[in-house]
Structure 1
Amino acid sequence: MIAAESFTRAARRLGFSLWTGVPCSYLQPLINQAIGDPGLRYIPASNEGDAVAIAAGFELGGELAVVMCQNSGLGNAVNPLSSLTHTHRIPLLLIVSLRGDPEGGHDEPQHELMGAITTRLLETLQIPWRYFPTDETRIESCLNEAKAWMLTERRPFCLVMRKASVAPVAVPAAHSATLRPLSAEADDCTQSPTATRGAMLRALQKNAGVRDIVLATTGYTGRELYALDDRRNQLYLVGAMGCVSSLALGLALARPDLRVIALDGDGALLMRLGALAAIGHAAPPNLVHILLDNGQHESTGGQQTVSGGIRLACIASACAYPRALTVSGTEALEAQLQARKAGPVFIRALIAPGVPENLPRPAITPVEVTERLRNHLAALPRETR
């Protein structure tokens, strides 16, 4: 058994400064230590997949992050681990608890199967793993091995934690939460779309400079943004549906000197509504979350979503976005982008369905576009705001 502080201190020396995830009793000491350490930042994620995306965005910004979750939650993270961090080659450190350990005695029945297959699942995902260190003398070498592999291969590494690996840590004093007033502009039920996706994206690009980083959700949004004008400050997700806002959150935390713009879709947003709560809690003032809402899963044939009957800007406002509103035309979107109000800002941009003919797929690969963005970010001097 090791002390939580010994592990977090060693990890911090190696550059791991953001911790995120979903709690497990095995992980409680590390989580409590991360929350109570003023040198670290802990972001409570709504689910494990969101945590992976938050950590991935943080890494894009030039920093390293740790994702903690129970092995049952590893199932929630399979998609972003397979189609975000693997596809775009983004490294992060996973710490996964081994509930249902085949060698660990009795556990609850819901952990039996996942306990038996956890390490095999990691291997199927092509994520190398080691058991979490239980000897203080092994901490540094374990972390060094993980970091070396992460930076060489640009993919995640996992430490599998067995029961009682870390000594207990008291729960830090709870922070008092203050309810923020609802945005006066949030009621979004009276407008109709007057612009296409392409028109909204042109308006965005017109108002986005080199210090504005644009992350586009999967499907037609990224493809159309690319077709309009492929830029070094843009990234196009090809998978990990619903993860773009969490990716943007991580990047916004790593680079508070830049404006980070997440381009979301209604189907994607509805898939991971819990991300709104994490963004509202973390409250990065440099994050702009734009929802391009046409009421359809257009990339898969135009199947209807339920967004038309949901007050999505009101939900964002209730999740503590200081500003949440709806726009239905390009002029209104441009006005919001030019105002540069402190965020996080949620803009529901209503758009008419429709896709340009012969819309190309990006010729640049996910790895290439990610490295290009990473290099663009590294070249931008860090400014104090």
Structure 2
Amino acid sequence: MMIAPADFCKVLEKFGIDFYTGVPDSLLKNLCAYIDGYYSAQQHIIAANEGNAVALAMGRYMGSGVPAVVYMQNSGLGNAINPLTSLADPQVYSIPMLLIIGWRGEPGVKDEPQHVKQGLITEKQLDILDIPYLVLDSVTDVKNSVLPLLNTMTKQNRPVAILVKKDTFLNASNKVESKPKPASELKREDALSVLLDVFDEQDVVVSTTGKTSREVFELRKSRHQVASDFLTVGGMGHTSSIAMGLALGAPHKRVIAIDGDGSMLMHMGALPIIGCHDVKNLVHIVLNNECHESVGGQPTVAGKINIKEIAFASGYSNYLLASHTDEIVTKWQELSAEPGPILFEIKIAKGARKDLGRPTSSPIENKQAFMRHIKQGEGDI
């Protein structure tokens, strides 16, 4: 038996909690779907990153006097540590909030390489942070376990946490709402296929975490090409910074960052750092489907902002836009003749193949193949 998200949220509502913010997680996707469907836009904010969410919850509490919920994958706990320790901690501002953390890489549960270390140390991190917590699974008595934790939160004015195991929440039936027309009908895998066609074989490619890297790996495999791209399987939001470092370290190569809108938004401060350092051999591609595709499809704000203006304001030398395969080809020809850094936004549709696989090489093997590729064909780009 699994826990119904509605029953879980009702326990929190009875305690007065009705505001949620955070970064979506695949283990929490059923809970997130319920929250997104049943709470207003003023009661649920999908944050840019986990530290952002902690700060939002802190401000919401000080404005209303009511604690808020911050949800995240345990990989995002690192993003939240600074505001948790330097702001919300009882020894600083003493702010009550409930952290709901998806436990990827739980010891004894098979998971992807990027989650194993984080899963192993998650409980230790909460202990070091002195954050009281409980572990929630499908058979937990929610009311009798959660209420004592919430009492601790309010009595001691401190953050507390619920560590959620895999397969804890039931699938939620959302309210039926009309869906906006997608910005593009172009599938991400088709866009990637065209991009791999137009890239030079000496180009250095860094792909973002989630389904993008999985699709890049499978496309290379289907073409019988050497898998020499750097697959950023963890560390969401850092793809463009890795690419900038590569561009500086290997100035003889054209470096291409294949980013996502959620990843770009998570650490958007990287854009002006890239733009203001004259990285002429860097092309920053943003595949924009306006959602967190890899963890459940929850929306981002990437459809409500002007990425072109952001790119130019950040110091990028040029910006191009495409939403069809033929546009990708023509725009790539255009940008290839110009110095970077260039931001190339490609509008894509939400969705991926159900049989999409995962990289079969280990992260270490991927890094080694990638570094061998960088050393090949030295010369001017």
| Counterpart contact for 1:212–1:258, Cα < 8 Å | yes
Distance of 1:337 and 1:212 partners within structure 2 = 13
Partner of 2:318: 323
The CA deviation at 1:246 is: 0.2
SS state at 2:259 partner: strand
Indicate yes or no: 2:233 matched with 1:242: no
Distance of 1:323 and 1:237 partners within structure 2 = 25
Distance of 1:250 and 1:81 partners within structure 2 = 25
SS state at 2:204 partner: strand
Distance of 1:353 and 1:289 partners within structure 2 = 20
Partner of 1:202: 193
Cα–Cα, structure 1 residues 247 and 79, in superposed 2: closer, same or farther, change >3 Å?
Answer: farther
Partner of 2:273: 278
Flag structure 2 segments of 5+ consecutive residues without an equivalent: 1-50, 52-73, 80-85, 93-120, 123-181
Amino acid at match of 2:317: P
Partner of 2:247: 252
Choose from 362, 365, 369 the match for 1:365: 362
Distance of 2:311 and 2:298 partners within structure 1 = 24
1:234-288 CA distances to partner (integer Å, 9 max, x unpaired)? 1111100000000000001111111111011111111011000110011211111
Cα–Cα, structure 1 residues 80 and 279, in superposed 2: closer, same or farther, change >3 Å?
Answer: farther
Choose from 248, 263, 277 the match for 1:268: 263
Choose from 371, 374, 378 the match for 1:382: 378
Choose from 283, 286, 302 the match for 1:288: 283
The CA deviation at 1:357 is: 2.1
The CA deviation at 1:232 is: 3.6
Amino acid at match of 1:349: I
Distance of 1:239 and 1:306 partners within structure 2 = 22
Distance of 2:78 and 2:195 partners within structure 1 = 30
Choose from 211, 218, 221 the match for 1:227: 218
| Counterpart contact for 1:261–1:289, Cα < 8 Å | yes
Distance of 2:219 and 2:253 partners within structure 1 = 23
Distance of 1:196 and 1:346 partners within structure 2 = 20
Cα–Cα, structure 1 residues 349 and 282, in superposed 2: closer, same or farther, change >3 Å?
Answer: same
The structure with higher relative contact order (CA 8 Å, sep 6+) is 1
Correspondences of 1:1-385 after superposition (within 5 Å)? 192-230=183-221, 231-339=226-334, 340=336, 341-378=338-375, 380-384=376-380
Distance of 2:374 and 2:220 partners within structure 1 = 19
The CA deviation at 1:319 is: 0.3
1:201-226 CA distances to partner (integer Å, 9 max, x unpaired)? 01111012221111110000000111
| Counterpart contact for 1:217–1:264, Cα < 8 Å | yes
| Counterpart contact for 2:320–2:331, Cα < 8 Å | no
Flag structure 1 segments of 5+ consecutive residues without an equivalent: 1-48, 50-77, 84-99, 101-108, 111-123, 126-190
Moved segments of 4+, more than 4 Å: 78-83
Cα–Cα, structure 1 residues 375 and 82, in superposed 2: closer, same or farther, change >3 Å?
Answer: farther
Partner of 1:31: none
The CA deviation at 1:302 is: 0.7
| Counterpart contact for 1:280–1:320, Cα < 8 Å | yes
RMSD: 2.9
Distance of 1:361 and 1:218 partners within structure 2 = 11
| Counterpart contact for 2:183–2:289, Cα < 8 Å | no
Amino acid at match of 1:377: I
Cα–Cα, structure 1 residues 382 and 273, in superposed 2: closer, same or farther, change >3 Å?
Answer: same
The CA deviation at 1:338 is: 2.5
Distance of 2:191 and 2:325 partners within structure 1 = 6
Cα–Cα, structure 1 residues 283 and 367, in superposed 2: closer, same or farther, change >3 Å?
Answer: same
The CA deviation at 1:381 is: 3.6
The alignment covers a number of residue pairs equal to 208
Distance of 2:270 and 2:283 partners within structure 1 = 14
1:155-184 CA distances to partner (integer Å, 9 max, x unpaired)? xxxxxxxxxxxxxxxxxxxxxxxxxxxxxx
Distance of 2:355 and 2:377 partners within structure 1 = 39
Distance of 1:268 and 1:297 partners within structure 2 = 9
| Counterpart contact for 1:313–1:347, Cα < 8 Å | no
SS state at 2:257 partner: strand
Distance of 2:200 and 2:356 partners within structure 1 = 25
Cα–Cα, structure 1 residues 306 and 255, in superposed 2: closer, same or farther, change >3 Å?
Answer: same
